[in-house]
Amino acid sequence: MKPRRQFAVGILILVFLASLMANQLAPVSYSHQFRESANAPPSHEFPLGTDDLGRDRLSRLLYGSRISLLLAPVAALIATALAALVGGTAGYLGGWWERVGMGFSDLFMSLPWLFLLLTFRAMLPLNVSPLASVIITFTLLGLLGWAAAARVVCAGARALRNSEFVLQARTHGCGDFRLLIWHVLPPLKPVLYAQFWISIPVFILSEANLGVLGLGVAEPLPSWGNLLRDLENYRAALTSPWLLAPLFLLVLVVACFQTVLPEEDLP
Amino acid sequence: MRRGFYLSVLFGLFISNSFAQQGGELRFCLRSEPKTFDPILVADDSSETIRYLTGGVLIRVNRLTQKLEPELAVSWKVLAGGRRIDFELREHIYFSDGTRFSAEDVAFTMNKLLDPALHSPTGDSFRSAPGPVKTEVYGTSRVSITFPAPVGGLEKLFDQVAILSSHSPQAEMAVLGPFYVAQKKPGSYVLLRRNPRYWKRDEKGRSLPYLDSIRLEIQQNRTTEALRLTRGEIHLISNLDPELFDVLSAESTTLVRDAGPSLEGEQMWFNQVLNSPVPGYKKGWFRSKTFRRAISESINREDICRVVHRGHARPAVGPVSPANQFWFNRTLQPRDFNPQDALQRLEREGFRREAGMLRDREGNPVEFSLITNSGNKPRERMAVMIQQDLSQLGIRLNIVTLDFSSLIDRITQTFDYEACLLGLVNVDLDPNAQMNIWLSSASNHQWNPSQKTPETNWEAEIDRLMRAQASETDAIKRKSYFDRVQEIVWEEEPFLYLINKNALSATSPNLRNVTPVVLRPQVCWNVERLSILPEISEIRP
């Protein structure tokens, strides 16, 4: 492994561990409002200062990292599984199936994501806990984010459709379902693996975008998305550089994810 | 050297004073595209701003003193117990296109305003009862308007009625106000030019307005708007957010102005609709005055003002802001923050705390959702503060932010919500404008709209008082009726009034004669007297 990748893996492990140990590392509760210390600069008591409601920024960053880093892979897994199912089936069966499958994915990609998410959120029951809401948000992201990956998987499956080992398996009486699961998808693993890793930062950024619109993770739970909302105030970002911590962490993690991927797997 | 500097400053001041009232283009932002330029059909903020800047009215509410002042009408008289109003009009007045203003134009405007086919929101305020409105014209300068039933605060309503020309080929684009719409580029800007036929003059006999034009740029993003002010690209911002107020204040304290409490408030209410899909036991809580009072007492309004609005707000008392000098009931005080008292009140109703969670008599955990619109950061912050305040009592509050159309659908159509947090803007000072909120049969009676008959005695009493004040012409009697309405609302708390926001604005140092007020349009209420000081750098020799 190249030193650059080793370094990226090290950073990712460090960030993951810090977020998993948020209970131990966070100085105070992420939701407690120290109203007398709202918008406080970094101090011994609040190492990254406090937000506009007086909540400790470091605690919120640690817990927010946990939510974004644990749930984004879940969303990526859902999206990759759907991409494998739709793209793999369409590419392997070809013909009418491929036209329908890819037409469906084209349709999905052309749909306005944001409005879809707004609509889904509006249809959800209101009395869900913040934790349930965050799980729903990421599940929705996963359910909506498979289309681009499906096209890549479809292209890979199409290439395998008439390969010799598939023809040989077919002549031995192997059914389509068994062929797809046992002979077509396994060689596509590197593609699926790459799609999975690429999707993680995409979903982290998607949640961040939703958070900026106030539609991400429900309060008082923190996430990178709602932490980034503090940067809406252009002057505060210049005069209070500690506000850039979540942005810095987001860029670092996304960059590390890109570095971790082997170059041959990158699309 | 120093003498030279003083001389150049004095020269600059002399030049600036000489040229301050000559021409220039005022630039500021509208937060959305105006939906219409027809003053009869105005229903949104941007169109209303344009109507204010272009429309000529018979009577104007002075935004500073909140008193009525004659404009196109020299005098007026309310007769027949508020059913009729007679106007004596100003003569030798011309529309922007040169057509002459006469009593016929007033009659034409009123007929158009009250045309049921047009559904004019401004016209709705005049509809006191079914039946035709009669307008009689006497010569060119006298007109009489008779309504089917008395209209409370009748003369004040004419502040919103921009007079249209009955003869002009330009129809509603011919105006009597200080500016006319000269150019519009959808999604980009609206350009208003000085009306050369505007009738007003200043104390020295000079024609008003001083400005040559106004460029209204469409800009939704408030941060960008603030940035543009600091760059000198625009001259003013009305209705500024407290956060941006502080940002601009840090740039220069002379940029920003806090005019005190505005007519805008924030309020929360519970869904009390009987056939809503809310569980029965929760309906029981929401319809209980004790429960509503306990929640109200558990919310720290002072903290909300201090933390969320950075001190630019004050705890609200009721439906009328203290900014409304005449109608505000001064005997009422904001609800005290008293969680202990609130808990005892709930315990007397059978609620009890178990393992940190409040439960009702049947053992149901006290948990409810609060919906609010997404994207409004101060409002979301308020919800989070309320969440922490209620958690002290063991109440779990789930905050749900929805896009505005979904939220409106829930509170007006499906009633599938438990509590809602929204803002309220009273654009009109008169309580008649609130009839659609207070009458139990009204569709905007948010906590329980469109009731066939009042479901509670206090709602029946509010109905009676609101109808009584609407048909009364004596202002003192009307005030006593509406004061009682405010007392009932304070006692019963169908709305939990939280805060009244201050009227915050920002103005360029180059803008002169600026006196921001709490009433809309805040900074440009005296637009005809605003002028722009040329940049010092421009006038240096």
Would the pLDDT of B271 be above 80? yes
Task: Give SS3 for B98.
Answer: coil
CA distances from A154 to A106, A189, B363 (A): 12, 13, 55
Query: Which residues of B are less than 8 Å from A233 in CB distance?
Result: 223, 243-244, 247
Angle formed at CA B236 by CA B233 and CA B241, multiple of 5 degrees: 110
**Contact with chain B for residue A229, Cβ under 8 A:** yes
Using the Cβ of B244 and the Cβ atoms of chain A, whether some distance falls under 8 Å is answered with yes
For the beta carbon of residue A99, count every other beta carbon within 10 angstroms.
11
Question: Residue A29: is its pLDDT beyond 50?
Answer: yes
Q: Over chain A, what is the mean pLDDT?
A: 85
B317 DSSP 8-state letter: -
Using 50, 70 and 90 to split pLDDT, how confident is the model at A1?
A: low
Cβ B402–A121 below 8 Å, yes or no?
yes
To the nearest whole Å, the CA of A119 is away from the closest chain B CA by: 8
Whether B223 has its CB under 8 Å from any CB of chain A: the answer is yes
Q: Which DSSP letter does residue B534 get?
A: P
CB of A126 closer than 8 Å to CB of B369? yes
Nearest to A27 by CA among A5, A53, A50: A50
pLDDT for the residue numbered B540: 36
Paired residues of B504 in beta bridges: B258
CA atoms within 13 A on the CB side of B41: 8
Residue B177: per-residue pLDDT:
95
What's the confidence (pLDDT) of residue B535? 58
CB pair distance less than 8 Å for B383 and A219: yes
Q: Does B369 touch chain A (CB under 8 A)?
A: yes
DSSP state of B46: H
Residue B422 contacts A, CB cutoff 8 Å: no
* B17 has a pLDDT exceeding 50: no
Measure A32 CA to nearest chain B CA, in Å.
Answer: 8
Please list every residue in chain A whose beta carbon sits closer than 8 Å to the beta carbon of residue B401: 214-215, 218
Q: Tell me the pLDDT band of B19, cut-offs 50, 70 and 90.
A: very low
Between CA B290 and CA B297, with CA B296 as vertex, the angle to 5 degrees is 90
The yes/no answer to whether this complex scores an ipTM above 0.85 is: no
pTM of the model: 0.81
On whether the CB atoms of residues B332 and B486 are closer than 8 A, the answer is yes
Residue B14 predicted with pLDDT over 70: no
Instruction: Show the domain range for A261.
Output: 52-265
The pair of three-digit structure tokens given for residue A192, joined into one six-digit string: 């699926």
Say which residue the tokens 């159309």 belong to. Answer: B405
- Name the region of B453 (left: φ>0; alpha: ψ -120 to 50; beta: rest): beta
pLDDT value of position B376: 84
**Tokens found for residue B130:** 């079914």
Q: Using CB atoms and an 8 Å cut-off, which of residues 156-195 of chain A contact chain B?
A: none
Q: Is B420 on the interface with A (CB under 8 A)?
A: no
Q: What's the token pair of residue B140?
A: 């060119």
Residue A88 falls within a domain, yes or no? yes
Task: Report how many Cβ contacts below 8 Å link chain A to chain B.
Answer: 82
> What's the average model confidence in pLDDT over B100-107?
95
Alpha-carbon distance A36 to nearest alpha carbon in chain B (angstroms) = 8
Find out whether B282 and B267 touch, Cβ atoms under 8 Å.
Answer: no
Number of domains in chain A: 1
Q: Which amino acid is at B385?
A: M
In a domain, residue A197? The reply is: yes
DSSP B279: -
CA atoms within 13 A on the CB side of A93: 18
Q: What is the mean pLDDT of residues A2-24?
A: 90
What pLDDT, in 10s, does the model give residues A104-125?
898 888 888 777 777 777 777 7
Strand positions, DSSP E, B72-220:
73-79, 84-89, 134-138, 142-146, 179-185, 189-194, 213-218
B164-180 mean pLDDT: 89
User: Using alpha carbons only, how large is chain A's radius of gyration in Å?
Assistant: 22
CB-closest option in B388, B401, B416 to A214: B401
Amino acid code (one letter) for B252: S
So what's the pLDDT on residue A137?
80
Q: Is residue A40 part of a domain?
A: no
CA distance B495 to chain A (A): 21
For residue range A142-153, list pLDDT tens digits in order: 888 888 889 988
pLDDT tens digits, one per residue of B49-102: 999 999 999 999 999 998 999 999 999 999 988 889 999 999 999 999 999 999
- Asked if residues B16 and B539 have their Cβ atoms less than 8 Å apart, the reply is yes
**Smallest CA–CA distance from A129 into chain B, residue:** B398
CB contact under 8 A, A219 and B308: no
* Among the ranges given (A97-101, A183-187, A229-233, B507-511), the one the predictor scored with the smallest mean pLDDT: A229-233
Residue at A218 is within a domain = yes
Q: Which residues of A touch B301 (CB under 8 A)?
A: none
Find the CATH number of the domain harbouring A179.
1.10.3720.10
The span from the CA of B409 to the CA of B369, in Å, is 16
CA distance B221 to chain A (A): 10
Whether A108 is covered by a domain: the verdict is yes
CB A102 within 8 A of CB A151: yes
Q: If you average pLDDT over residues B26-52, what whole number do you get?
A: 92
Ranges of H-type helices in B162-310: 222-230, 242-251, 280-286, 289-298, 301-303
**Strand, helix or coil for residue A226:** helix
| Residue B302 predicted with pLDDT over 90 | yes
Q: Which residues on chain B are in Cβ contact (under 8 Å) with A234?
A: 223, 227, 247
A29 touches chain B (CB under 8 A): no
The 10s digit of each residue's pLDDT in A30-76 is 999 999 999 899 999 999 999 989 999 999 999 999 888 888 888 99
User: Is residue A213 over pLDDT 70?
Assistant: no
pLDDT higher at A185 or B305: B305
Tell me the H-state helices in chain A: 3-20, 22-25, 57-93, 95-110, 113-123, 130-144, 147-161, 164-171, 176-179, 189-212, 224-228, 234-239, 245-260
Q: What is the pLDDT of residue B22?
A: 67
pLDDT at residue A218, as a whole number: 79
| CB-based contact B54:B162 (threshold 8 Å) | yes
The reported pLDDT for the residue numbered A167 is: 85
**CA B108, B110, B112, B116 torsion-angle sign:** negative
- Residue A73 makes CB contacts below 8 A (sequence gap 6+) with A196, A200
Q: Is A33 on the interface with B (CB under 8 A)?
A: yes
A264 touches chain B (CB under 8 A): no
Q: What pLDDT score does A263 carry?
A: 60
Residue A13 falls inside a structural domain: no
Interface of A with B in 60-99 (CB under 8 A): none
With CA atoms as reference, report the closest residue to B295 among B198, B418, B177, B475.
B418
Q: Is the pLDDT of residue A212 over 70?
A: no
Q: A219 and B374: CB-CB below 8 Å?
A: no
Contacts of B266 (CB under 8 A, 6+ apart): B316, B379, B382, B421, B422, B423, B424, B498, B499, B501
Q: B385 — contact with chain A (CB < 8 Å)?
A: yes
Domain-embedded: residue A47? no
Q: How far is CA B464 from CA A14, A126, B123, B384, B478, in A?
A: 68, 36, 23, 38, 12
Q: Report the percent of chain B where pLDDT is more than 90.
A: 67
- Whether B534 contacts B6, CB under 8 Å: no
For chain A, say whether B311 makes contact (Cβ under 8 Å): no
Mean pLDDT of A85-104: 89
Cα dihedral B264→B267→B272→B275 (10° resolution): 60
pLDDT at residue B252 above 80?
yes
Residues for chain B: how many in total?
541
User: Domain for residue A196, yes or no?
Assistant: yes
Cβ-nearest to A126 among B227, B371, B383: B371
